[in-house]
Structure 1
């Protein structure tokens, strides 16, 4: 599982403590989800223009970009046209490509 991105160092410490309580069965799953919501940073949102810019920056076609992101050409096209938004994991992948390029896959 990928490492969570916390809102702050304090949030990470609080979440870690809550995770220990959850594993010890002191708090239930619903409460743990509340700690997740409070402590873990949400996936970023990208506009259609930003997605197209990220793809063009790494100099690949929609088809190649789709392969790297484990999605379809149709989905990439819909993102770039603004008809669809990337989900959590796809948004995180876009965030990584934006920051590191395609080298993260190699």
Structure 2
């Protein structure tokens, strides 16, 4: 990723792409330091298929916080599964970060 995402939704979409491609460096770089893990092992990462944004609250270029609710489909153990999460984002020093989320 060369350009910083300008909205919380754009960051969430870039993180989904990073999960799909196994780009743990981007995931860690865009994870807020207060909740970021030391490292991220994606060796058992499922095969991510699709993404659907269900809701956004704030998260625009001039906001400081944002929420994005999404549904992501993936294949694990030969079965199609769905992950639904309501994710929280914060913008600091002009950059958006993923903070955490509630899986539904």
TM-score (norm 1): 0.22
Name whichever structure is richer in strand by fraction: 2
Structure 2 length as normaliser, TM-score? 0.23
Select the structure that is richer in helix: 1
